Amino acid sequence: MFRKILPFCFFIFVGLTALWAQQSKYYQASTIPLSLKKEANAVIRFSEMKIELESQNLMNVKGKRIVAVLNKLGNNDLGVYLYYDDNVKIKNIKAVIFDAFGNEIKTIKQKHFKDVSAVSGGTLYSDSRVLYLEYTPVSFPFTVAYEYEYETSNTAFIPTWSPLEGFRVSTELSTIAITDPTGLGLRAKEKNFPDFPGIENQSTEETITYTAKNLQAVEYEEFSPSLRSYKPQVLFAISKLHLEGVDGEVHNWADMGKWQYDNLLVGTDELPEDTVNKMKALTADLKDPLEKAKVVYQYMQENTRYISVQVGIGGWRPIKAEIVDKVKYGDCKGLTNYTRALLKAVGVKSYYAVVYAGSDKRGMEENFASMQGNHVILNIPSDNGDVWLECTSQIHPFGFLGDFTDNRDVLVVTDEGGVIKRTHAYKDDSNHQQIYAEYKLDETGSISGEVLIKTSGIQYDQHFVINDYSKDEIEEHYKSYWSNINNLNIESFNLENEKSNIKFIEKIQISATKYASLAGERMIFAPNAFNKLSNIPNRYRNRKMPLEIDRGFFDEDEFSVHLPEGYEIEAMAESKSIENEFGIYKVDLIKNGDNSIKLKRSLIIHEGKYSKEKYAAFREFLMNINKHDNAKIVLIKS
């Protein structure tokens, strides 16, 4: 008996020893290739993920990663954490920490990981939690080896493979292998491979496998595309999926929309009879569907508030409209569905729409239907195009999305199936800001006057939020906004949010001492006190990323400056006009006969994508604008 078992045990021991020896080289910082240290705060020495789709409602995920942290900034790139909920069972999680020479410092078992809620305080209830490693290093570099295994019934979400994990993080070796032994229709979509020659598809008939080797760190560069848009990735999905107790079969976006409608929305849009009658009474005199929708939207905003709900299927299925109507709160799904139900009560057709929210304009993946998105908005088709409603906000105007969900592909969920549509795009001219100012400069160099600001489009989005600030917060906002004016005092202000026109109007009375510099009989000041382009992006000797201006805008300014008695203009900058592919800048200075001057300025910046070679010219354009925005006038005593 012993003679039969011993060789087998010896084989296991040798195999494990060989595996340990193979990976132990990653524990020593000295073995990191020099090319991977360049511009890196951390190096992914080894990353392996194995996924087995055991059935439509069971997925097993095993992983190991070895990360070398080179400096303090690399602590955020450890990636030693694991999310879980009632449908995710953690079977194993462990981390081992090594010093720079590969000597083991500490072993952290599952019971020593921090276990906290995975959601913010704005969530009413949620079963989402996260285990994470909390470790304070005593020196750098150090290395963490991390192993984990979990099972989940939610096969609708298969982890994405992203071998380049973040800025200033390089990767020595990363692999993923997925098996689908029961034939669930496993699909993969490769993204951004051509620019990364170190990636190989090593798939077989039984397993989808990818390997990446020696991916150098990418440094963040201003005015470049988002990392997500150009880093290599492989997305995975299966056609026969399972989500929180619900099976589905999805081959395209039409199928996905139909499955979501049938399983997440059906039966959720019923309202109490009293509420239906109230909606009908509010819109009784209106015939235009959009006019009805405006009244209903205002009612929803005035009678509900946003609170997140993320438990089980409730993380994806909206709360029933009748419950939202009773408790007066909901998450993005619940409030959107509630608004849909209110509109249904007055005969206005609207649709639940799933979107990726965020300023980087991420859209649904074309021709790759899967569970995607992190937010829900409402779609109202009309003869003049689609109207989109953000239902989690009590302050947004009707039909205004802002930069949170604008200009991206979304999944519109209908009873007949899913449809991909694109949300409204706010183009250059529509993102408009006008500033009118009239101020007096006295003989001490102090200024006082009134500023009027009108904004629309995305610039409206950036301004109207201050309407809910306290008085002190508003004053601090303006002092920061005009940080170029020392000793600024906000004497008074009046804010008007024209929601029907989607315009925000600000009237501010200001004063500031010592705005102008005194030098003997001369006084020197910049007439453009209220809208200077001041942020000049960094210079890059070896720019690597393309240039991207993600949002264009249009500024128009007119400033009237009353000069002090007994002074006349000795020197003044000339008018200037600059026009190129990036935009148009114009500034005119006009002398008036009443001892005043008028400055007229306009600036259009075009949204667009350009080659990296054009970055220097774009930066030069901004520097020229900055130069003329800061141009001085010299006054002399007459």
Query: What pLDDT does 118 receive?
Result: 79
11, containing H or E segment: helix 2-24
For residue 365, give the DSSP letter: P
Task: List for the chain the helix, strand, coil content (%; round to 5).
Answer: 25, 40, 35
Q: Which residues contact 77 (CB under 8 A, 6 or more apart)?
A: 41, 42, 67, 69, 165, 166, 168, 169
Structurally, what CATH architecture does the domain formed by 428-637 represent? Sandwich (2.60)
Query: What does the pLDDT look like over 38-47, one tens digit per residue?
Result: 999 999 999 9
- Per-residue pLDDT band for 310 (boundaries 50, 70, 90) equals low
The per-residue pLDDT for 119 is 73
Q: Give the Cα separation of 298 and 314 in Å (integer).
A: 26
pLDDT at 548: 98
Query: Which of 457, 455, 401 is closest to 427 using CA atoms?
Result: 457
For residue 554, give the DSSP letter.
E
**Tell me, what amino acid is at 491?**
E
How far is the C-alpha of 234 from the C-alpha of 163, rounded, in Å?
A: 9
Q: Do domains 26-241 and 428-637 have the same CATH topology?
A: no
Provide the 10 A C-beta neighbour count for residue 359: 14
**Domains in the chain: boundaries:** 26-241, 250-422, 428-637
pTM for the predicted model, two decimal places: 0.92
Report, as an integer, the average pLDDT of 229-239. 97
Task: Return the pLDDT at 6.
Answer: 37
**What pLDDT score was predicted for residue 23?**
76
**With pLDDT > 70 as the criterion, what percentage of the chain qualifies?**
94
Task: Indicate whether 102 pLDDT > 80.
Answer: yes
What pLDDT does 125 receive? Answer: 54
Report whether 423 contacts 407 (CB < 8 A).
Answer: yes
pLDDT in tens, 43-59: 999 999 999 999 999 99
For 299-313, 331-345, 486-500, 574-588, which range has the lowest pLDDT when averaged over its residues? 299-313
Confidence of residue 15 (pLDDT cuts 50, 70, 90): very low
- The band of 12, judged by pLDDT with boundaries at 50, 70 and 90, is very low
Q: What's the topology of domain 250-422? A: C8orf32 fold (3.10.620)
CATH topology of domain 26-241: Immunoglobulin-like (2.60.40)
Confidence of residue 19 (pLDDT cuts 50, 70, 90): very low
The whole-angstrom separation of Cα 305 and Cα 302 is 8
Helix 273-282 to helix 332-345 angle, to the nearest 10 degrees?
70
Q: From CA 29, how far away is CA 561, in angstroms rounded?
A: 63
